[in-house]
Amino acid sequence: MERYQIILAYDGTHFQGFQRQGRQRTVQAEVENALRHLGWQGRAILFAGRTDSGVHASGQVIACDLEWAHSPETLGRALNAHLPDDVAVKAVMLAAPGFHPRFDARARCYHYRLYCQPHRDPLRDRYAWRVWPAPQLDRLAMAAALLVGRHDFAAFGSPTRPGGSTVRHVLAAEWQAQADEFHFEVWANAFLYRMVRRMTWVQVTLAQGLIEPERLSAALHNQAALPAGLAAPQGLTLVKVLYDGQEEAGHTLSASE
């Protein structure tokens, strides 16, 4: 019996989120069903993060224990043969017996994509949030800079367990403009429930001139209230989860960080 670390990609459009929920279609349920075809007898896979309904992933990390007589690469191909078209295994590797994709993670990266047009674009609406009027890039950059650092993000999400801390450390946050699109990349040691969608909505609202930077700063330092709102789920993608010794976001992450 070996523990395997598996990196998944999925299109979240037709899933009710990642985590198993009764008889609803979820990514976890599809992956566990594929594993059972290969002799897996576990109760539940382990995973790095729970993504909402409609949210995508290109770097979700899961782990499971499995009796498998072949290579990790062969396991990946076998799983893909049993997975639906909107879920795929990108990589498989052996992991330490006690590896946990959530609790051993040192940082996570999300991307958010939006486009600016007065009318819908069916070719982009599945993977991006349409925003109009267009936000100002300099104000987006200013808002992102305020988010970086260790703050109490209670105004931006709820803890992943009852009574849990709402303090998180945002390692990097940056916006880039590409034609009529804006792409947001954010790294943190961990995220609150719906934190990235909330952060994105607040930044866009600020960049449209509807709220002032002082309100964002007050929310971070004094947990002052902000207007209610969430960015659409389809613009969000879980891109990467990092573990000890992996380098990203400008530095090497270690257990002390």
Residue 162: both structure tokens together: 């009852």
Give me the DSSP letters along 105-124: --EEEEEEEEE--SS--TTT
Question: Rounded CA gap, 99 and 104, in Å?
Answer: 7
167 exposed, middle or buried (CB, 10 Å; 0-12, 13-18, 19+)?
A: middle
Q: Is 52 a catalytic residue?
A: yes
Among 159, 130, 160, 126, which residue's Cα sits nearest to residue 54? 126
Catalytic-role residue among 52, 86, 138, 180? 52
Angle in degrees, 0-180, between the axes of helices 27-36 and 72-82, rounded to the nearest 10: 110
Instruction: Please list the active-site residues.
Output: 52
